[in-house]
């Protein structure tokens, strides 16, 4: 299936969850936030949130500067 990650198209196997996506992309699990179609998914739901064809995924880091 095709999904969009930070506006890049990505071809993935079916039934992949958010945690698996981050591992696949070699992204840190700590300090990352993930939104699926503009909805931020809490970290406690990463493992049970299955991605679907056409989903828009946004990955970004916590920033603390001020």
Partner 1 sequence: MLNDDELLRYSRHLLLEDVGETGQQALKNAKVLIIGMGGLGSPASLYLAAAGVGHIVLNDFDHIEVSNLQRQISYQSDDIGEAKVEVAKRKLQQINPEIKVRSINKAMPEIQLTMELTMADLVLDCTDNMASRQLINKSCVDAKVPLIVGAAIRFEGQLMFFDHSETDSPCYHCLFPGSEEQTLNCSNSGIIGPVVGTIGTLQALEAIKYFVGLPSGIKNKLKLFDGKSLDWQTFTINKDPKCTVCGQH
Instruction: Kindly determine how many residues on this chain lie close enough to bind partner 1 according to the rule CB under 8 A.
Output: 20
CB of 16 to partner 1, least distance (A): 21
Should residue 35 be labelled a site residue for partner 1 when binding is judged by CB under 8 A?
Answer: yes
Phi then psi dihedrals of residue 13, to 5 deg: -70, 160
As a whole number of angstroms, the distance between CA 12 and CA 50 comes to 12
Applying CB under 8 A, which part among 13-21, 27-35, 47-55 lies near partner 1? Answer: 27-35
As a whole number of angstroms, the distance between CA 47 and CA 66 comes to 32
Should residue 61 be labelled a site residue for partner 1 when binding is judged by CB under 8 A?
Answer: yes
Question: Which residues of this protein are in contact with partner 1, per CB under 8 A?
Answer: 30-31, 33, 35, 38-45, 58, 60-66
């Amino acid at each position: 299936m095709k999904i969009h990650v930070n506006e890049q198209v990505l071809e993935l196997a079916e039934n992949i969850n958010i945690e698996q996506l981050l591992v696949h992309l070699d992204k840190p699990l700590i300090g990352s936030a993930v939104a699926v179609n503009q909805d931020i998914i809490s970290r406690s739901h990463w493992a049970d949130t299955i991605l679907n064809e056409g989903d828009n995924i946004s990955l970004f880091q916590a920033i603390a500067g001020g």
